[in-house]
Copies of this chain bind each other. A is one copy, B any other.
């Protein structure tokens, strides 16, 4: 699989650009939605943890959390065991917004999928588990 890797990278890059222009319900930025997805999937966590997980700097994450808190998508709560630290939690409003964004993106991609030939749809469906393992590795 030598040349196919090049094609795969091209496809993934184009997919990125496609998604970047999709929806963005309620002014959700890429940085904010990535952090919210993680907080929803992995639960509340500290600024430092979130910064590491998102490959961002600690000050950068402080600022992102500040903007998300201002929008009402997350909440800071002091840690009981360490008074220096805070825990970032997704609010119901933040969770709702992410659900809407997900639905919008699913609709948009679904429309594109509907435009494919049945054989193409089948090939993509068959490759999904493999692709999931690839992007999670």
Contact = CB atoms under 8 A, between A and B. Distances in A.
Interface string A1-23: 10011111111111111111100
A6 B110 CA distance: 9
Secondary structure class of chain A's binding surface, majority of residues = helix
Interface stretch (A73-81, A82-90, A117-125): A117-125
A67 interface: no
Interface of A: 1, 4-21, 30, 34, 37, 55, 102, 105-106, 109-110, 112-113, 115-116, 119-121, 123-137
Contacts of A13: 19, 37, 105
A115 to B, nearest CB: 6
A91 to B, nearest CB: 21
A100 to B, nearest CB: 13
A134 B12 CA distance: 11
A52 B15 CA distance: 18
Given A124-B127, A126-B123, A127-B126, A134 B106 contact: no
Given A1-B125, A6-B102, 20 more contacts: A1-B113, A1-B121, A5-B106, A5-B110, A6-B106, A8-B113, A11-B135, A13-B19, A14-B132, A14-B136, A16-B20, A113-B134, A116-B137, A119-B130, A120-B129, A123-B129, A123-B130, A124-B127, A124-B130, A124-B134
